[in-house]
Each structure stands twice: as C-alpha cells, then as structure tokens.
Amino acid sequence: MNSNLNELLYRETAVEQAQKNSHQFTMDIPETSLDETRNTLRLTDNYFFANKEIFISKHNRFAPYPLHSHQFLELNYVYSGSCQQTIDGVPTTLQTGDVVLLDVGSKHSIDYLGENDILINILFRTKDIHIDLLNKLKNSQSALFSFLLNISTGDFNHLKSLIFRNTGKTGVSTVIETIMNEYFFPREYSDEIISSYLPILFLTLTRDYKNTLIDAGMDQYSEPVIFQVLNEIDHHYDTVTLDSVAKKLSYNKNYLSNLIKAKTGNTFTELLNKQRLSRAHLLITSTKIPISRIITEVGFSNKNYFYKKYKESYQHLPTIDR
C-alpha cells in the first residue's frame, strides 16, 4: 500500500471537517452541475469531465449523501472499512475491496461514513466503453460483458448495477490503486496510463469474477455481426448508413435491420443516433466549436431533428451545456 496515497485518503478535507462539525451533508460541487428537476439530485457531467476523461475522488465522510443519479457511469471502490448504500431501492453493505458499478440513471444514496471508511468514486462516460473492449470480453460469459454491451447499445431496460465482492484472490484492488496513484500523484503520461488501465480494470473484473457473474441471457449477443455493426457505428458514426454497413458485411439490408433490432432491442438508426449524440455532447461540453458546426460534424443533416433528439437524451437543449 502506497503510504502517500494512504495519508492523502485519510486526511480530512474541508468538506469533511464541515460535515464532522455539523453532522449534516455539505454540497461539494457547483450548483450548475446539479439537476433537481425530477425531485432527485442528478449530477451532470459538465463539471466532472471538463478537463479530463476520467474523474476520481474520495467520497466525503461524516454525513450521509442524499439519493442521487448521474449522467455518467460510476464505479465505487471500498478502499478501507465498510459502506452502507441503497442502490435502486435495495439496501447494500460493501466491505473493504468490494466494487459496485452503477449505470447512467441508477439511483443511490450513501450512509454515514466513519473515520476509517474510505470510499473511492471513479467516474467515466459511455464513450469510454469501446467496441474493441467488448470484443475481448464477449467470450467470458459474464454479467459484466452483458452490462457493458447493454450500455453501449442504449438498452435502458437492463440491470442498473453490478456488485463485485472481494474474495481476497483478485487483482482488482491492485489495478484500482495503480489508477489512483497515477491520478492523485500525476507524472508524465499519467492521463494516458489511466485511460489505458480502464479496460484492464474491466478485463480483471471479468477474469476474477466470471464464475460468479454468469448471465443466462448471453445468447442474444453471440451473433458476431452485431459487433461488426457496432464497430462501424463506433468508428464511422458521421457517415455510416444501414445501406453501407449491409453492403460491407454482405448482408441483405432488411435482414440486417431486423437482426439488429432482435439482438439489441434498438433499430440501426437508434444506435447511430446514440453514438452521434454522445459525440455531440462531448464536443458541446468540452469545446467552443459552434453547435451548428458540431451538428454537421457528427453526421446530423437536420438541425431541428438534432435538437429534438438531444433533448430526449439529456432532458435539456444543447445550449444549456454551454
């Protein structure tokens, strides 16, 4: 265990000191990054990913954190002690070394953390789940593969969280703590190393937990062509069409369309729009490129249609993210 990391994590922050004195929750992010329109605290990604691809923080101790959801994926890791959470209505106790992966929209609250309870939050976005990673995981027959693939294809009817219990025989803690050291004590190439370790983390979770995370519904993703379609969308979202994919893969267009719908629960257009909107959202929140230009760059030809789909996806117009 890195002594510098240990010292940093146990050191009380200003927010922790305030919560320790008041025994009440203290908001630790700007109000502009909150969305309370649905009577639930919703954390948006414009604050967390302004200058980085992955955001890591220690969860503040000494007060409960209210029920909330987020626009991004969250991985919680219990560095030490224990943690009581309620995840989508289900009370859950996490112990040292346990990991929970929460999908976009998953609602959870976190109970009071004591002095020795160190919970780490690792935040990342769906765009960080690349098709290449899914291809590596697809033969594992694990629930993690199914979970990540459902996120990638935009299936919002699937399980919203996965819990990985520490068995004492996995390398997950080593991987996570390597990521933490690069993040909290950055050196040259730290950002690149962190990004490279994200798929390593997923692969380690799959390898070490595959026997306890079997998913009976995996057969629906055994069709290799689905990965080829997703790969085309992932890499050529700005120009790809169903016609071009069908031609490239030597499939009848109508047959391929029906197969995509049957295997993913989404039409080709829905999958393509999801990828285009994700890319547009990233550009809108992290660059100064005019929205009109972004619309064209990601492949939309109709401005009104883009605004309609953007609002459906993010519950507000793109101008709010500027």
Cβ-based neighbours of 40, under 8 Å, separated by 6 or more = 67, 68, 69, 107
Q: What is the mean pLDDT of residues 16-28?
A: 92
DSSP label at residue 116: T
Rounded to the nearest integer, the mean pLDDT of the chain is 82
Q: Which amino acid is at 31?
A: E
pLDDT score of 11: 96
List helix spans (H) across the chain: 3-10, 14-22, 45-48, 131-137, 143-153, 172-184, 190-209, 224-236, 242-249, 253-264, 268-286, 291-297, 303-314
Instruction: Return d(Cα 259, Cα 229) in angstroms, integer.
Output: 11
Q: Where are the domains of the chain?
A: 3-212, 223-321
CATH number belonging to domain 3-212: 2.60.120.280
Top pLDDT among 244 and 262 is at: 244
Whether pTM exceeds 0.75 = no
Q: What is the mean pLDDT of residues 244-253?
A: 94
Instruction: Return d(Cα 116, Cα 71) in angstroms, integer.
Output: 29
pLDDT score of 211: 46
pLDDT score of 200: 87
In three-state secondary structure terms, 164 is strand
Q: What is the mean pLDDT of residues 271-277?
A: 88
Q: Which amino acid is at 315?
A: Q
Instruction: Return d(Cα 133, Cα 137) in angstroms, integer.
Output: 6
Residue 274 has pLDDT above 90, yes or no: no
Per CATH, domain 223-321 is 1.10.10.60 = yes
pLDDT score of 322: 73
C-alpha pair distances (Å), 293 with each of 96, 289, 298? 48, 7, 9
Closest Cα to residue 201, out of 25, 73, 62, 18? 73
Beta bridge partners, 17, equal none
Can you give the C-alpha Rg of the chain in angstroms? 20
Instruction: Return d(Cα 137, Cα 140) in angstroms, integer.
Output: 5
C-alpha pair distances (Å), 301 with each of 166, 218, 232, 293, 315? 49, 36, 19, 11, 21
Burial class (CB in 10 A: 0-12, 13-18, 19+), 300: buried
Percent of the chain with pLDDT over 70: 78
Closest Cα to residue 165, out of 218, 92, 103? 92
Q: What tokens appear for 134 in the block? A: 């899914």
Instruction: Return d(Cα 88, Cα 68) in angstroms, integer.
Output: 10
Two domains, one topology: 3-212 and 223-321: no
